[in-house]
Amino acid sequence: MDRNQISKWLKNPGKMAHKYSFHVVYFCTGCGIIEIPPSITTRWDAERFGIIPVATPRQANLFLITGYVSTKTLKAIIRTYEQMPEPKYTVAFGSCPINGGMYYDSYNTITSLDKYIPVDGYIAGCMPRPEAVFIGVTHLWKLIDMDKADGYKRYREDYVHYRANQEQLYGQMDWPPLFPVEKKEQANL
């Protein structure tokens, strides 16, 4: 923690508050969930790092995606991400959401999650141990300090691109665009 660097807190208290207060919504499929309960219980105690699980995406600012991502579950992931308030951060946990893992050659597996939503960090492994969650979180703190954890800004700026990738996979989406698509398309012409 930055306790002996009080000037950081005084310069940007909002950033520091978001940085040390991650309210996490988990999206777990398959074996991805197996390492999450140990990380939030007494042995590793995620709350000492400011990591608190929440029930809904409307309360969350950290989205932890674990396990494989199928074409069916990707739609729920996109919807969950779009419901989160800004600033929001996404971390892909384990090999499967990063590159498909052992399901990389399946017709139904998404191998590049970052084509559909922005990913701020990756925690590699099959399955990463709970210690890796904390290493990933402390790395995310550094990215926030350097203003490099800007996935939510990239999503807004490149929304036309992300939405096109989503609609290429699904066709017309079941919900309206999060940001105005027509205006950006006309500006690019």
Instruction: Give me the percent of the chain exceeding a pLDDT of 90.
Output: 40
Residue 179 is which amino acid? F
**Structure confidence at residue 51 as a pLDDT band (50, 70, 90):** confident
pLDDT bracket for residue 2 (50, 70, 90) = low
For 55-67, write each residue's pLDDT tens digit: 999 999 999 998 8
Say if CB 127 and CB 94 are below 8 A apart: yes
Indicate the helix (H) or strand (E) that contains 168.
Answer: helix 159-170
Higher pLDDT, 139 or 48: 139
pLDDT higher than threshold 70 for residue 185: no
Asked if the 21-188 domain carries CATH number 3.40.50.12280, the reply is: yes
Half-sphere exposure of 151 (CA within 13 A, CB side): 26
pTM of the model: 0.86
Q: Which pLDDT value is given to residue 189?
A: 46
pLDDT at position 3, please? Answer: 62
Element containing residue 181 per DSSP (H, E)? helix 181-188
Instruction: Determine how β-strand 22-28 pairs with β-strand 62-66.
Output: parallel
Q: Which residue has the tokens 């979180």?
A: 137
Rounded to the nearest angstrom, the gap between the alpha carbon of residue 13 and the centroid of all alpha carbons in its chain is: 23
Residue that has been written with the tokens 């990215």 in this structure: 143
How many other CB atoms are found less than 10 A from the CB of residue 95? 22
Helix (H, G, I), strand (E, B) or coil at 36: helix
Instruction: Parse the chain into domains and list their residue ranges.
Output: 21-188
**136 pLDDT more than 80:** yes
How much is the pLDDT for 13? 78
